Amino acid sequence: DIQMTQSPSSLSASVGDRVAISCRASQDISSNLAWFQQKPGKAPKSLIYAASTLQSGVPSKFSGSGSGTDFTLTISSLQPEDFATYYCQQYNSYPLTFGGGTKVEIK
């Protein structure tokens, strides 16, 4: 199975900050990576697929980069509604696997 490792597991940031979340795959997954946002008590919401393509309706403050084994989700200018947990997922091969999540909290 492909292991997905996210870092950090949590971070504290202020409104207006730019944050970056890392996701590393245990083997080459090309660009077959997605990012999700989850708020407490809610289902995950798809933000990005194919490592860098925004889902329809997702604001451009979210961006994704990387290929192969190293990927980054960047959120520019954090707003109150962005405080949530973010997950990466590889869909390059079965079983699909998720990272452990990064909780973005208010400083």
Partner 1 sequence: EVQLVESGGGLVQPGGSLRLSCAASGFTFSDHYMDWVRQTPGKGLEWVGRIRNKAHSFTTEYAASVKGRFTISRDDSQNSLYLQMNSLKTEDTAVYYCARTGVHSDQDYWGQGTLVTVSS
Number of residues that bind partner 1 (CB under 8 A): 22
Binders of partner 1 among 31-70, rule CB under 8 A?
32, 34, 36, 42-46, 49-50, 53, 55
Which of 60, 80, 95, 107 binds partner 1 (CB under 8 A)? It is 95
- d(C-alpha 80, C-alpha 63), whole Å: 18
Kindly indicate which of the ranges 12-20, 28-36, 61-69, 72-80 contains the residues binding partner 1, using the contact rule CB under 8 A.
Answer: 28-36
Residues 6+ apart with CB under 8 A from 59: none
- Residue 94's SS3 state is coil
Which of 64, 97, 102, 104 binds partner 1 (CB under 8 A)? It is 97
Give the count of beta carbons closer than 10 Å to the beta carbon of residue 94: 8
Which run of H or E residues covers position 102?
strand 102-106
Binding residues vs partner 1 (CB under 8 A):
32, 34, 36, 42-46, 49-50, 53, 55, 87, 89, 91, 94-98, 100-101
